[in-house]
Structure 1
Amino acid sequence: MYEVIWIIFAFSLGLVVRLVGLPPLVGYLAAGFLLSGLGSFTALPVENGAALKHLAHVGVLLLLFTVGLKLKVKSILRPEVIGGSLLHFAITCGIFTPGIHLLAGVDWQTALLLAIALSFSSTVLAAKVLESKRELRAFHGRVAIGILIMQDLVALLVMSLASGKNPSTWALVIFGLPLLRPILFRLLDASGHDELLVLLGLLLALVLGGFGFESVGLSSELGALVFGAMLANHPRAEELSKSLWSLKEIFLVGFFLQIGMGGLPDGDALAFALIASLVLPLKGLLFFFLLLVFRLRARSSFLSSLSLTNYSEFGLIVASVALTEWLIPLAITVALSFVISAPINRIAHSIYERFSHRLIRYESQQRHPDEQPLSLGNTRVLVMGMGRTGTSAYNQLGRTEPNLTGLDSDPAKVDKHVREGRSVLFADAEDTVFWEGLHMPHLKAVILAMNDIEGKLIAARKLREKGFRGYVVAHTMYADEAEKIKAAGADEAWLTMNETGVALASHVIDFTGRPLPND
C-alpha cells in the first residue's frame, strides 16, 4: 500500500513542477514533505521505512555507476578541469566554513562539512540541461561535466572519511581489479542490447561494486563508481549508461522522497536555504573567473559556470552519511537552487549574447584552448556538424570538391576526423564571437548538419547577417522545425526520414533497372 501512495504523490507533484518548467525532482522533494505532513495529521498509510531507504540507496549506487561510465581520464586530465574544480572547492570551503560557523552557530567540523556539501554542483541537473540542448560534447559542456566528475570524486572521498569505516585486509584486493577489465569487456560484448545489458549494469553496480566493497569494509558508493570507471573506455559504455538511465532516475525518486519524508522544514531550515540561495551567484562568479584564469574564452567560461551554478544532490548524499540533522535544510537549499538555475540555463545563450561585449574584456590575451578559426581560406563548401549525417555529406562531396571544410564543437570528434584525413576545424555555431570574426571569402554553400535546432537557426541567421548569399541547406526530423530553419535564412530544410525513404527507393529503382539474377 505504501508504494501506491508514494507513486501517486511523486508523479502528481513531479508533473505539476515539470509543467512550470522546473526539474521534476523538485516535485519529488515537495511530495516527500507533503507526505510527511499528511502522515502526522491523517490516517494516510505513509511510512518512511526500510523499503524506501533501500530504494534510495539503489538509486545513489546507480547514479555513481553511470558517473563512472563517463569517467574517461582524458576528459578530466585538463588544467581547467582539475585546477578549476579543486581551487573552487578550496576557496568555497574557506569562505563558507567561517560564515556558517558564525551564522548557524555550529561547531567548526559541522560548519566545514556543510561548506563541503554546498561546494558541489548538481551532476543530474547539469547533465539534463546540457543534454536537452545537445551540448554535452560541446567544449563548455565537456568542461562542466569534467568539473562535476572531479567534484563527485571529492564527495566520495569525504563520504569515505566521514563514515568512519575501517577497511579489512581483504580491501587490498581492489588493487587487482584492473585485471578483471578484459573479462568485464567480454561480458559487455556478450550481453546484447536488451534486458541482459541492464542486468549486467545492476550486477556490477549493486552486487560487485556495492555489496562487494561493503563486504571488505569499503564504501558501496566507491565500489559502484570504480566498476563504472572500469568500463568507461569500452565502445558500448554509453549504451550501457543510457540503458540504465530511466531505471536510475526511478530509484532516485525514492532518494528525494526519503529526504522529504524525514520531516517538515522549520523556520531555521527555511532561513538557511534562503541565505544559501542568495549567495548562489557568488558560486557561479567564482567558477567564471577561475576558468578565465585557465585561458578559456569568456563564452566557454560563462556557459560552463552557469551550468555549475546550483547546489548538488551529492551534498545531500554526503549529509546522509555525516549530517543527518541537516538533511532537511540542505534539501530545501538544493530545491531552491534548481528553481533558480534550471530556467536561467535554458536561455543561457541569449543571456551571453546580450552581455558578451562586457564579458569578453576579462579574457586572457594568451591563446585559448577553445580558440576558433578566423578564416575559412579557400573553402567553397562548409559542413557544420560532423556527426553521422555531416560525415556522410562530407565524404560524398569530397569525391568532387577539393575545397571542403567541416566544423564541429566536439574537440575529440575534430581530432578523430583530422586523423582520418578530413579537413575539420573546431568551432561552435552558437558562438556569436565566432561569427563576428569569421572570414569566408570563397564560400559558396553550407550544409547545416548539427544535432540541435537552436544551432541551425543561429547559423542560418548569422550567415545571412554577414551578407552570405550562397546556398544554405539543413536537415531536421520535424516539419515545424524545417519552417523555422528556412525562416532563419536557409534555402532548404529537408526532412531526414523523408529523404531516407527517397534514398531507399532510389536504390530499389537502380536495382530493378538491371537484369535480375537467375533463381
Structure 2
Amino acid sequence: MLDPLIILIALGCGLVARIAGLPALIGYLAAGFVLHETNIEAGSLLNHLADLGVTLLLFTIGLKLSPRDLLQAKVWGTTLIHMQLMQLFFMGVLWLYDSLVPSMNMSFTEILVIAFGLTFSSTVFVIQVMQEKGEMSSRHANLAIGILVIQDLAAVLFLSATKGMWPEPTALLLPALWLLRAPVLRLLSYAGHGELFTLAGMALALGGAALFEFVGIKGDLGALIIGALLSGSQKGKELSRNLMNLKDLFLVGFFLSIGLGGWPQQEALILAVLLGVLAIVKIPLYFPLMTKLHTGPRTALLAACAMGNFSEFGLVVVAVAAKAGWLDAQWASAISLAIAISFVISAPLNRYAHELYWKYHSFWRKFESDRLRRERPDTSGARIIVLGMGNIGTGAYDTLAETHGAEVLGVDLNEAKLAEHTRRHRRVVPADASDPDFWVQVDLTEVDLVLLALTNHPENVLVADLLRELDYQGRVAAVVRFREEAEELETHGISVFNLYAQAGAGFAEHAAAQLSNNA
C-alpha cells in the first residue's frame, strides 16, 4: 500500500516548487530525497507506478510520432553525432576524475558504460516542461522528441544486449502489427469517449509492452511502437489527450524513485554533483549541430535548452549494467543524483529560453543556414493574420477572406493541414506563431488585425508579449476557454472570445436562424 505520507510529502514539495516558479517535477525529486532521509519505505507499489508512468509516456509519444520526421537528417544526424561526442567527453571527464582521485579505482568498462548512460537527454523532463509551457505542438518540441526517440532506441538496444540474448525469432513477425491498425481504430471507435476509451488505451500500451517483452525486446519500445501505429488518426489524438493526466500522475512515482535511491559514497557524490552541472555542456553542442543541419536558430536553441540534462534511461542503463556485474551498484545512486541536479539546472534555463533567444536575437540569427534564408515564407500584402488553422481558425479565415481575399494570411505548423488548405486555395504559410523570426519579416505597419486561434493560453500570452515588444499598433483578438485566461489577455489589451461561455450564444443564434427559415 502506498503510504499517505508519501503522497503528502510529494504534494507539498511539488507545490513549493511551483510557487518558486519551477516545474513540479523538481519538487517530486526533492520529495524522493526527503523520503530517503526520513527512512520511509515506499514499497514495490511506487516502482510499479513509476514503470507504468514511463510506459504510458512512451505510448503517448508514439501516438504523436511521425516516422517521416525521424528520417530527417536534422533528427537522426544530430542524435548520432551528439551521442558520439558526448560519449568521448564524459569518458574524458570520468578518466580525469579517476586519475585525480585514485580511491575511485574505476575500470575502463565502468567509464565506458557510465559515459554511455550520460549521453541521453530526458524524455520525461522534456515532455513535462513542454506540456507546462503549452508547447507540445511546436517545432522545437517535435524536434526534441524525435531526437529523444532515437536516443531511447539506442538505450533499448543496449538493454537487450545486457540480457545476454538477442530477440526471439518470432520478433521478425512484429512488422505485421501494422495490419492491426484499422481493426484497432475501429475497436476504439466502439469504446466511445469516456472511461472505456481510456481503459482501451491503457490496455494497448501495456499489451504492447508485454508483447515485446515476450519476444525478447524491451517492453517500453513496444509501447512506443504500438502508439506509433495509431499516430495520425483522430482516435490517436483523442487517446493522447485522455491519457495525459493519468500518465503525469504515474510519473510522480518515477521522480520519487530517483530521490529514494539515496546518496552514493563521498567520492562518487562529488563526481555526481560535477556531472550534474556538466549536463549543461550538451546545449552548446546540440545547437550548432542542429543549425548546420538546417534547423532554424530559434527552434535549435529552444530544443537544445530542453535537452540540456540527463535521462531516466541513463539511470536504467547503469542499473542494469550493475546487475550484470559490469560496474559497482553505488553508481545507480550517483547517476540518480546527477540526473536530479541536471533537472534543477535545466528547469529555470527552459523557463527563460524564449527571453534568452529574443534578447540576443541578432547573434542567434547568424547561425541560420542559407537554405533556410531562401525558404522564408512570403507574408507580403497581409493585413489580417490568423494564427492556428484548426477548425476555429479556418472558420474565421473563410469568413474574413470573403471580404478581404488574399489580404488574409493563415499560419500553422502542421504540414498535413497546410497541404489541405493550399489545395482549397487558402493563403497559408508554415510558421511558429511564437517565433520572433517570423514576425520580424512581417510588415506589422500594414497588419490591421491578428487573430489568435491557438486555444493554447501560454502560447497566446507569448505571442501577445512578442507583438507588444515589436511595437505592433493594430488589433489583436484571441480565443480562450476559461475566464481567468480571458482576464489575463484583456490586461494585454486583447479582445477575447470565450469558446465555452459564448458558444451557447452562437448556438442560440443558429437555432433562431433555423426558426426563421421555417417560418
Which 10-residue stretch deviates more, 397-406 or 479-488?
Answer: 479-488
1:333 aligns with 2:329: no
Contact 2:2 2:43 in 1 (8 A): no
Which one of 84, 92, 104 corresponds to residue 86 of structure 2? 92
The structural deviation recorded for 1:88 is 0.7
The structural deviation recorded for 1:479 is 5.3
Q: Do the aligned partners of residues 217 and 277 (structure 1) sit closer, same or farther apart at CA in structure 2, a change above 3 Å counting?
A: closer
1:405 aligns with 2:399: no
Letter in 1 for 2:141: G
The structural deviation recorded for 1:457 is 4.9
Which 10-residue stretch deviates more, 194-203 or 441-450?
Answer: 441-450
Q: How does 1:90-489 map to 2 (within 5 A)?
A: 90-104=84-98, 105-206=105-206, 208-323=207-322, 324-367=329-372, 371-373=375-377, 376-403=379-406, 404-439=408-443, 443-453=447-457, 455-457=459-461, 459=463, 470-478=474-482, 481-482=485-486, 485=489, 488=492
The structural deviation recorded for 1:307 is 1.4
Distance 1:378 1:34 in 2: 59
Contact 1:120 1:312 in 2 (8 A): yes
- Provide the aligned C-alpha RMSD in A: 2.9
The structural deviation recorded for 1:331 is 1.3
Unaligned 5+ runs, structure 2: 99-104, 323-328
Which 10-residue stretch deviates more, 456-465 or 403-412?
Answer: 456-465
Q: Do the aligned partners of residues 476 and 267 (structure 1) sit closer, same or farther apart at CA in structure 2, a change above 3 Å counting?
A: same
Contact 2:59 2:227 in 1 (8 A): yes
Contact 2:53 2:249 in 1 (8 A): yes
Q: Secondary structure at the match of 1:314?
A: helix
The structural deviation recorded for 1:264 is 3.4
Q: Do the aligned partners of residues 175 and 295 (structure 1) sit closer, same or farther apart at CA in structure 2, a change above 3 Å counting?
A: closer
The structural deviation recorded for 1:73 is 0.6
Letter in 2 for 1:75: D
The structural deviation recorded for 1:394 is 0.6
Contact 1:269 1:332 in 2 (8 A): no
Q: Do the aligned partners of residues 169 and 297 (structure 1) sit closer, same or farther apart at CA in structure 2, a change above 3 Å counting?
A: closer
1:508 aligns with 2:511: yes
**TM-score when normalising by structure 1:** 0.87
The structural deviation recorded for 1:93 is 0.8
Distance 1:5 1:460 in 2: 42
Q: Secondary structure at the match of 2:403?
A: coil
Which 10-residue stretch deviates more, 359-368 or 139-148?
Answer: 359-368
Question: How many residues are matched?
Answer: 506
The C-alpha deviation readout for 1:342-372, integer Å capped at 9, x for no partner, is 1221222111111112222233333359x54
Contact 1:123 1:145 in 2 (8 A): yes
Distance 2:14 2:233 in 1: 35
The structural deviation recorded for 1:442 is 5.2
Contact 1:461 1:489 in 2 (8 A): no
Q: What residue is the counterpart of 1:78 in the other structure?
A: 72
Q: Do the aligned partners of residues 460 and 3 (structure 1) sit closer, same or farther apart at CA in structure 2, a change above 3 Å counting?
A: closer
The structural deviation recorded for 1:297 is 2.6
1:68 aligns with 2:56: no
Which 10-residue stretch deviates more, 123-132 or 476-485?
Answer: 476-485
Q: Do the aligned partners of residues 453 and 51 (structure 1) sit closer, same or farther apart at CA in structure 2, a change above 3 Å counting?
A: closer
Letter in 1 for 2:216: G
Q: Secondary structure at the match of 1:402?
A: helix
Distance 2:249 2:354 in 1: 31
Q: What residue is the counterpart of 1:43 in the other structure?
A: none
Q: Do the aligned partners of residues 394 and 124 (structure 1) sit closer, same or farther apart at CA in structure 2, a change above 3 Å counting?
A: same
The structural deviation recorded for 1:293 is 0.7
